[in-house]
Amino acid sequence: MARFTLAEIREKFSSSRDFNDLLDAFQAALALNAQDLELYRPLFWNPGLSPDEVCLFGEKLANEFPALAFDTYVWLAKVFEMTFASYDNFELAMQYYRKASLVKPEEGGPYLGAADCFDPNISIPPPFMLIQFLKEGLKHVADKRDLIDRIAYLFEMIGDLDQSEHYRKLSDDLRRGKN
């Protein structure tokens, strides 16, 4: 395996479009025990990689350095949400928001990030899938108001005004300190 400095690895992640070159740099970063997610972000944004290749690198990084798993999964979700959304209808973004929520279920970010993926013009991701995911988050997240607001919005978008009003009332009660 080729040995690279962190600066050389960073440069390869940013500029190389050759998978084998990127793989060599990635393996060198792992061998250096580089546990700084900032180093890997250009790799995940690299336009020379397919979604499968980005997943490969992200999964390997999360497995090698479990302390980076949550941030890696959230970052991958954002990459897929922004760059490959027109190809996979946010499926990969949702997959990684789910993985992040499994690592740290008490963190609201993955749930809210997933809700932000919703496109009301084409109902993607499917609102019922998002509602279920957000409801799962309610079991774990301490400050539930933002999740409840998103659930109310999603119910409104699908035309279930009774459920939307129910969740809006729950949110209002929480804001006023009622349980």
pLDDT-derived band at 88, boundaries 50, 70, 90: low
- Residue 148 confidence (pLDDT): 97
Summarised one tens digit per residue, pLDDT across range 103-126 is 999 999 999 999 998 888 877 888
b/e 29-59 (16+ beta carbons within 10 angstroms → b): beeeebeebebbbebbbbeebebeebbebbb
Q: Does residue 2 lie within any of the structural domains?
A: no
In this prediction, residue 82 carries a pLDDT of 85
Tell me the β-bridge partners of 81. none
Which structural domain range is residue 83 located in? 50-175
pTM of the model: 0.89
Asked whether residue 117 is assigned to any structural domain, the reply reads yes
The pLDDT value given to residue 41: 96
Residue 101 inside a domain? The answer is yes
Q: Is residue 28 domain-resident?
A: no
Distance from CA of residue 84 to its chain's centroid? 13
Band (1; pLDDT cuts 50, 70, 90): very low
pLDDT in tens, 23-48: 999 999 999 999 999 999 999 999 99
* 80 Cβ contact partners less than 8 Å away, ≥ 6 residues apart: 51, 54, 88, 90, 92, 93, 96
- 86 lies in a domain? yes
| CATH number of the domain within which 58 lies | 1.25.40.10
**pLDDT score recorded for residue 117:** 87
Residue 36 structure tokens:
């700084």
Closest-CA residue to 111 (of 162, 88, 161, 77): 77
Domain count, the chain: 1
Number of Cβ atoms within 10 Å of the Cβ of 61:
26
58 part of a folded domain: yes
The CA distances from residue 34 to 10, 28, 37, 38, 61, in Å, are 11, 9, 8, 10, 10
pLDDT band at 164 (very low <50, low <70, confident <90, very high): very high
Instruction: Using the predicted structure, report yes or no on whether residue 84 has a pLDDT greater than 70.
Output: no
Q: Judge whether 38 lies within some domain.
A: no
Contacts with 20 (C-beta within 8 Å, 6 or more apart), sequence order:
none
On the question of pLDDT at 85 being above 80, the answer is no
Confidence band, pLDDT 50/70/90 cuts, at residue 8:
very high
Q: Is residue 77 part of a domain?
A: yes
Mean residue pLDDT across the chain: 92
